[in-house]
Structure 1
Amino acid sequence: MRFSGFESLLDRAKSKGRAKVAVAVAADKEVLEAIKIAEKEGLITPILVGDGEQIKRLAHEIGLSLKKAELIDESLPEVAAHKAVDAVVNGQAHFLMKGQINSSDFLRAVLRPVRGLRTGRLLSHFAAFQVPGFSRLLFVTDGGMNIAPNLAQKKEILDNGLLYLKGIGMDLVNVIVLAANEVANAKMPATMDAQALAEMSRAGEFPGAIVEGPLALDGAVSAAALKHKGIASQINGDVDLLLVPTIEVGNVLGKSMVYFAGATMAGIVLGAQVPIVMTSRNDTPRSKFMALSMAALSRGS
């Protein structure tokens, strides 16, 4: 199956019942706005960890009822992050969300050696885009965490993305490994990595997926561009997941879709024991809400 947009993803997530999310340092207006939307939609029940008075004040400002929420009062951000992780480790929450706390402090709690959320897998960012005029959600990884991954790390990033997509019901995933052109060239390491990943796919290392590359973006999304260039492809422009070579490519690609094409974007972090909603300060409450939907859908998968 495929998702035509965020609404179809949300409907499927809601069909699984309310998920419990632990929010680390929850005294953040935009985060609480997203929680308000998600709670109203029947998607989540929140566990809000942080300065209790600030959380109550902000909740009152935005009209968020705390009747169904669990509030864990902790004024120290670093301690609040650990308590949010504890809620996940203890089985009280299905997944985790970052609030008003420095990312490094938050991840330190996530990756703590004792009773943390490590799996041995690389953490990677995974984004979904609903682009006007595009018939389905387009997924992109990793434009948010790993700066310049090597081949082994790109394989881990791809494994994370495929594990997520299969877990939410996609039986066959079409993957394009992006590069600047379609010819493998030792002077362009991204093309060599893309070729290697495509060879791994042909050898059966990514069951349930077709992985092709190197391909430039036009060939990834356009059968007409492939025909014009004379490139044969099983995917033939029908891509689900774009694997980018560096964080800069993913960042620029994602922001281009949002700012130039009017796309809606949401993203989560994969590779831990549970999905992590770790959004940007610039993300709208609606975008944060859709990230909550992405995380809620994958629970139990």
Structure 2
Amino acid sequence: MQEQQMENVTYDELKIGQSAMVTRTLSERDIELFAVMSGDVNPAHLDADYARDSAFGGVIGHGMWTGALISSVLGTTLPGPGTIYLNQNLDFKKPVHPGETVRVSVTVKEKHDHKHVVIFDCLCRNGLGETVAAGTAVVIAPTSKIRLSRPDLPEVQLHNHDRYRQLVDSCEALAPVRTAVVHPVTAIALQAAHEAALEKLIEPVLVGPEARIRQAALDAGIDIRAYQVIDAEHSHAAAARAVQLAAHGEVAALMKGSLPTDELLGAVLPSAGGLRTERRISHAYVMDVPTYHKLLFITDAAINVAPTLDEKADICRNVIDLWRVIVDPAARPKLAILAATEKVKSNIQATVDAACLCKMAERHQIDHAQLDGPLALDLAISEQAVLDKGLASAVAGDADILLAPDIHSGNMIAKQLTFLGGADAAGIVLGARVPIILTSRADSLRTRMMSCALAVRMADARRTGAVK
């Protein structure tokens, strides 16, 4: 690929009437980028509901976006590198809406030998030929020839909304969920529960060795006098006692403290514990990925190692319930069943399972979602990959949920998105009679609050009968 070059036009080479132009189509992303750069968050540019009732009838671009295009032409083309911008006079005639194309031209109007000053007429027109902005620019033109490679600009990614904050805020109208925090004997575990209590998400019941819990609170500088403390000799006893509390309806959620996940689940799984349902217990991550346009649910990345077809069906049912509680109870999420290929192959069990799951959904054995698979990861989340491969699918390229074929692939996808993609990942265990909050020492405050918010919403859905 040939390298793009920038070459200026020196003062001596400039002629009266000489012109250059650039054409650009304004996008919503351009508006957002300009707002980030300038700090101009006028709702006329960013709030569609507000702008709809304004004199312009909708969102418009920043006026100085057109001014920036003028600067671009002057600084890169005419006169180009070496130009010093002195003055800009600009009248704005018409607004520019997203999707409109603007042609910006600069034309040499006057040359002044003293200090090599050049005055340019500047004109910006839309696709209908209407003037959107016009004025003059004054520059000092370069006197020496400059040829440079056009620099490669960094790729900018916009993370438009704090989706986690929105979910936490959605719990404001709900009462805090009485939650058994299992074996919270470290400052980090206690802090997670305490912060969730301050957000009015949970009402902690601290279950574990009382002396160690109180010492951890002292170490963390946390006042736990408002929280009930239930003494249990060790972590196994704490898990068993917490499950008992949940089975008797004394708490509506469980929260992992300073004990291994499998130890907590070991107390939940036996039927005698009273928390099992007809469903397989599974784990789901709810991920806020900066490069994806909506929340992304990934399952199962933490509990089921190599799930069978029937177990995958339950994993689907669990995460579909979660998505409908969190996102939209009236909608049908798009669930992509992942494999290494989009082709069904008898020697790749994941592809066979995917085909079977799709047939089960078609026959309403798995309800309330659109399923498609097998799908490779790129086809699940990339519209461009779908176009390139010519795949016809209502799910591909726009998945809400990714069903991993096994724990290894699910865990790796989630960890890659977290550590390489800058995503936040909140985890929750589903399929039991109460939601189970999983947090880790590496979780940020945002992630811990999100995990608790998921449990609050699921506990409320169980209370109201929205989820069985």
Q: CA deviation at 1:128?
A: 0.8
CA distance in 2, matches of 1:187, 1:115: 39
CA distance in 2, matches of 1:286, 1:6: 7
CA distance in 1, matches of 2:301, 2:235: 26
Q: Give 1:149's aligned residue.
A: 307
CA distance in 1, matches of 2:306, 2:270: 24
Say if 2:245 is the partner of 1:87.
Answer: yes
Say if 2:420 is the partner of 1:260.
Answer: yes
Q: Give 1:172's aligned residue.
A: 332
CA distance in 1, matches of 2:266, 2:348: 34
What is the identity, as a one-letter code, of the residue corresponding to 1:54? R
SS of structure 1 residue aligned to 2:219: helix
CA distance in 2, matches of 1:262, 1:176: 22
Structure whose CA Rg is larger: 2
Deviates more, 1:119-128 or 1:57-66: 57-66
SS of structure 1 residue aligned to 2:460: coil
CA distances 1:33-73 after superposition (whole Å, capped 9, x unpaired): 21122111111110001122221222233232213211112
2:278 equivalent among 120, 133, 140: 120
Q: CA deviation at 1:119?
A: 1.1
Contact 1:131 / 1:264 at 8 angstroms: preserved in 2? yes
1:273 equivalent among 433, 441, 457: 433
SS of structure 1 residue aligned to 2:386: helix
Deviates more, 1:102-111 or 1:182-191: 102-111
Q: CA deviation at 1:116?
A: 2.6
What is the identity, as a one-letter code, of the residue corresponding to 2:434? V
Say if 2:389 is the partner of 1:229.
Answer: yes
Larger relative contact order (Cα-Cα within 8 Å, sequence gap ≥ 6): 1
Q: Give 2:165's aligned residue.
A: 7
Contact 1:109 / 1:116 at 8 angstroms: preserved in 2? no
CA distance in 2, matches of 1:183, 1:267: 31
What is the identity, as a one-letter code, of the residue corresponding to 1:70? Q
Say if 2:215 is the partner of 1:57.
Answer: yes
Deviates more, 1:70-79 or 1:265-274: 70-79
CA distance in 1, matches of 2:192, 2:304: 26
1:100 equivalent among 244, 258, 273: 258
CA distance in 2, matches of 1:26, 1:237: 41
CA distance in 2, matches of 1:187, 1:113: 36
CA RMSD of aligned residues (A): 1.9
Q: Give 1:17's aligned residue.
A: 175
CA distance in 1, matches of 2:342, 2:273: 45
SS of structure 2 residue aligned to 1:35: helix
Higher strand share: 2
Q: CA 1:259 to 1:115, structure 2 compared with 1: closer, same or farther past 3 Å?
A: closer
Q: CA deviation at 1:77?
A: 2.0
SS of structure 1 residue aligned to 2:379: helix
Structure 2 stretches lacking a partner, 5+ long: 1-160, 462-468
Contact 2:375 / 2:396 at 8 angstroms: preserved in 1? no
Structure 1 stretches lacking a partner, 5+ long: none
Contact 1:117 / 1:272 at 8 angstroms: preserved in 2? yes
What is the identity, as a one-letter code, of the residue corresponding to 1:231? L
Percent identity, aligned pairs only? 36
Say if 2:339 is the partner of 1:202.
Answer: no
What is the identity, as a one-letter code, of the residue corresponding to 1:292? C
Contact 1:22 / 1:48 at 8 angstroms: preserved in 2? yes
CA distance in 2, matches of 1:220, 1:82: 40
What is the identity, as a one-letter code, of the residue corresponding to 1:184? V
Contact 1:30 / 1:284 at 8 angstroms: preserved in 2? no
Q: CA deviation at 1:223?
A: 1.5
What is the identity, as a one-letter code, of the residue corresponding to 1:116? G
**Consecutive aligned runs of 4 or more in structure 1 exceeding 4 Å deviation:** none
CA distance in 2, matches of 1:42, 1:179: 40
CA distance in 1, matches of 2:305, 2:383: 30
Q: CA deviation at 1:103?
A: 3.5
What is the identity, as a one-letter code, of the residue corresponding to 2:417? M
Q: TM-score, normalised by structure 2?
A: 0.61
CA distance in 2, matches of 1:224, 1:152: 33
Q: TM-score, normalised by structure 1?
A: 0.93
Q: CA deviation at 1:283?
A: 3.5
Deviates more, 1:206-215 or 1:103-112: 103-112
Deviates more, 1:59-68 or 1:19-28: 59-68
Q: Give 1:186's aligned residue.
A: 346
What is the identity, as a one-letter code, of the residue corresponding to 2:286? A
What is the identity, as a one-letter code, of the residue corresponding to 2:408? E
CA distance in 1, matches of 2:446, 2:226: 21
SS of structure 2 residue aligned to 1:97: strand
Higher helix share: 1
Contact 2:317 / 2:367 at 8 angstroms: preserved in 1? no
